[in-house]
């Protein structure tokens, strides 16, 4: 039996996914949580095989939660399930330790297939994401987000959630000065000067939806 944890800050999404997979033979949804922090706490107390992880959530978010979970639980397999289907998310998530990447528009068969694939140690990336990446490949120098380190990407995602430096500092257990340094570096690498320009660039590359900016 593959034990699955659902991590998403929208109850409707969690309920929908649970209803889709709870009757599948060989799968068991053993819990639902709303944040990355709650996922870490849950995994510390329960045996979990596969986590279906939302990317954009309050707090540390899915990217940092994935990194921390995999670091402390080598057996754990994480599939990110998100509204985003554009590069460079897959690269950053796989660097953080994720084994799969799905969009929330995928069907039940693909979700089940992805869970089984990652459970047995094989990476899985949604067909629509793979097709989009294949048809939109660019040289690395043309994609500014490829220049960011994993930590810079984490800080950038938190800035996109309107988190202040002190909040980011507390969430990542780093000093405010260190966060300020990361912020300066990522702005420099992306050739933007402030959060407004950063948001526009993030929208251009699909990191956030215009409606959420």
pLDDT, tens digit (0-9, with 9 covering 90-100), for 133-167: 555 545 444 668 778 887 888 788 788 777 888 98
Residues 15 and 38 occupy one common structural domain: yes
Residues 78 and 166 occupy one common structural domain: no
- Answer for the pair 92, 67: CB distance below 8 angstroms, yes or no: no
Domain closes at, from 76, 102, 135: 135
Q: What is the mean pLDDT of the chain?
A: 84
Residues 86 and 161 occupy one common structural domain: no
Residues 51 and 150 occupy one common structural domain: no
Q: How many domains does the chain have?
A: 2
Residues 68 and 19 occupy one common structural domain: yes
Q: Mind listing the pLDDT tens digit for each residue in 70-127?
A: 999 989 999 998 776 554 466 777 888 999 988 877 888 889 989 998 999 988 888 6
Domain closes at, from 92, 107, 135: 135
Residues 81 and 53 occupy one common structural domain: yes
The answer to whether the predicted template modeling score (pTM) of the entire model surpasses 0.85 is no
Residues 109 and 41 occupy one common structural domain: yes
Burial class (CB in 10 A: 0-12, 13-18, 19+), 139: exposed
Domain closes at, from 135, 164, 194: 135
């Amino acid at each position: 039996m593959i034990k699955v944890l659902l991590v998403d800050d929208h109850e409707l999404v969690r309920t929908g996914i649970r209803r889709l997979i709870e009757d599948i033979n060989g799968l068991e949804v053993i819990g639902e949580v709303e944040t990355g922090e709650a996922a870490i706490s849950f995994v510390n107390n329960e045996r979990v095989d596969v986590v279906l992880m939302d990317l954009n959530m309050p707090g540390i978010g899915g990217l940092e939660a994935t990194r921390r979970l995999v670091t402390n639980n080598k057996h754990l397999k994480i599939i990110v399930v998100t509204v985003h289907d554009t590069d460079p998310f897959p690269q950053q998530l796989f660097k953080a330790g994720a084994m799969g990447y799905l969009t929330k528009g995928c069907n039940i068969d693909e979700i089940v297939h992805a869970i089984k694939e990652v459970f047995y140690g094989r990476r899985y990336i949604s067909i629509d994401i793979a097709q989009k990446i294949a048809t939109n490949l660019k040289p690395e120098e043309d994609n500014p987000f490829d220049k960011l380190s994993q930590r810079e990407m984490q800080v950038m995602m938190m800035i996109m959630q309107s988190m202040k430096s002190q909040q980011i500092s507390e969430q990542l257990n780093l000093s405010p000065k260190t966060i300020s340094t990361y912020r300066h570096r990522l702005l420099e690498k992306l050739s933007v000067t402030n959060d407004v320009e950063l948001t526009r660039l993030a929208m251009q590359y699909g990191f956030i939806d215009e409606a959420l900016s």
